[in-house]
């Protein structure tokens, strides 16, 4: 298997988005409709103090994944209330069809004092084909627990054989590189199951994907697809220190496969997605989302600067 890169397909600067959002189109995630593909992403506005707030938006593509049909011009999902886990942003949002409805698993952000942020996984449901979502309770459906102390986020949910599976990440440690630098986080991919998509049973801190960069590899945004009899997971991984500025320490796309949804074999090179020198994804490839459409398998992903300038797509050649 290998990826055929089709280039960048969306730049938020080219569109008028709701909530005053002007930059970033992070973590694109697709819902396929009869005539188009709706891609949700998180985009950013600034609050009164100049701090970022991530909002949910979407763009509709023709099924060639190239022609843009339109973007959301209204609020898709409001931010959380004062003190709630999703008060300061929703990023990412992961939609999945459940019967006639669309469930969206959100990562809510709330600002902390000693560390920059904590997160939780919320559930919002759409009954209007994904135009708007309504939050189900003001708290999270998945949050920190005894052995997953913080930063539970990046949920991706699919049903296989009648069971809901969630892949997500949990924080393992906050560390400072030097005593006067802000703390950086390390997180790993975990797994939970559910009968209804609402009440979840975690494997509780089992790290389901082996590390490539060692104990302090950060693994983010798992996405899973079944191809034939085998399940494939793509995710982003990076070093925990100096990942923003030092090329080679930032996000790359990882891959693992499983035949039983329990044991995962890591194989980043098969297929590998590499950056193209001089292009929008030269320094970084992150926030992958894999989906099938018209018999093809696509990978949406962000490039340099964590998706500040949009996202692109690649097609899997099997």
How is residue 271 written in tokens?
């297929």
When asked if residue 85 is in the footprint of other proteins (CB under 8 A), the reply is yes
How is residue 152 written in tokens?
């539970």
When asked if residue 144 is in the footprint of other proteins (CB under 8 A), the reply is yes
CA dist., res. 140 & res. 18, Å (int): 25
Coil/strand/helix, residue 271: coil
CA dist., res. 37 & res. 58, Å (int): 10
Question: Among the candidate windows 159-167, 175-183, 239-247, 297-305, which touches other proteins by CB under 8 A?
Answer: 175-183
When asked if residue 48 is in the footprint of other proteins (CB under 8 A), the reply is no
DSSP assignment of 160-171, as one string? ETTEEEEEEEEE
Question: Among the candidate windows 58-66, 111-119, 160-168, 294-302, which touches other proteins by CB under 8 A?
Answer: 111-119
Question: Among the candidate windows 76-84, 91-99, 153-161, 240-248, which touches other proteins by CB under 8 A?
Answer: 76-84
* CB distance 234 to 156 below 8 Å: no
- The contact pattern for other proteins, residues 290-309, with x = CB under 8 A and - = no contact, is --------------------
Residue among 175 and 244 whose Cβ is closer to other proteins = 175
When asked if residue 83 is in the footprint of other proteins (CB under 8 A), the reply is yes
Q: Which of 198, 262, 317, 318 binds other proteins (CB under 8 A)?
A: 198
When asked if residue 123 is in the footprint of other proteins (CB under 8 A), the reply is yes
CA dist., res. 295 & res. 77, Å (int): 31
How is residue 258 written in tokens?
């499983």
Q: Which of 14, 74, 114, 269 binds other proteins (CB under 8 A)?
A: 114
Sign of the torsion formed by the C-alpha atoms of 21, 23, 24 and 29? positive
For the purposes of burial, counting CB atoms within 10 Å of the CB of 295, is it exposed (0-12), middle (13-18) or buried (19 or more)? Answer: exposed
Chain residues binding other proteins by CB under 8 A are: 81-85, 87-88, 110-115, 118, 120, 123, 136-141, 143-151, 171, 174-176, 183, 185, 198
């Amino acid at each position: 298997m290998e990826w055929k890169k089709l280039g960048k397909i969306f730049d938020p600067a080219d569109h008028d988005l709701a909530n005053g959002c002007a930059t970033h189109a992070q973590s694109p995630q697709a819902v396929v409709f009869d005539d188009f593909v709706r891609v949700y992403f998180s985009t950013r506005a600034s609050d009164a103090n100049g701090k970022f707030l991530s909002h949910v938006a979407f763009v509709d593509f023709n099924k060639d994944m190239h022609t843009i049909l339109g973007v959301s011009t209204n609020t898709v999902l409001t931010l959380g209330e004062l003190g709630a886990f999703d008060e300061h942003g929703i990023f990412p949002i992961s939609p999945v069809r459940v019967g006639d409805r669309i469930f969206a698993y959100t990562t809510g952000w709330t600002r902390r004092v000693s560390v920059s942020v904590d997160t939780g996984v919320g559930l919002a449901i759409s009954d209007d084909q994904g135009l708007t979502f309504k939050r189900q309770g003001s708290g999270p459906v998945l949050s920190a627990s005894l052995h997953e102390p913080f930063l539970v986020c990046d949920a991706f949910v699919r049903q296989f054989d009648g069971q809901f599976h969630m892949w997500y990440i949990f924080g393992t440690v906050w560390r400072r590189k030097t005593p006067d630098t802000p703390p950086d986080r390390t997180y790993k991919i975990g797994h939970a199951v559910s009968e209804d998509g609402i009440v979840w049973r975690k494997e509780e801190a089992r790290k389901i994907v082996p590390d490539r960069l060692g104990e302090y590899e950060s693994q983010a945004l798992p996405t899973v697809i079944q191809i034939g009899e085998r399940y494939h997971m793509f995710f982003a991984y990076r070093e925990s220190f100096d990942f923003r500025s030092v090329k080679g320490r930032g996000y790359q796309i990882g891959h693992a496969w499983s035949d039983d949804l329990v044991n995962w074999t890591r194989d980043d090179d098969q297929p590998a997605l590499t950056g193209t020198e001089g292009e929008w994804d030269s320094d970084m490839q992150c926030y992958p989302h894999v989906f099938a459409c018209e018999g093809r398998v696509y990978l949406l992903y962000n490039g340099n600067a964590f998706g500040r300038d949009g996202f692109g797509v690649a097609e899997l050649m099997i």
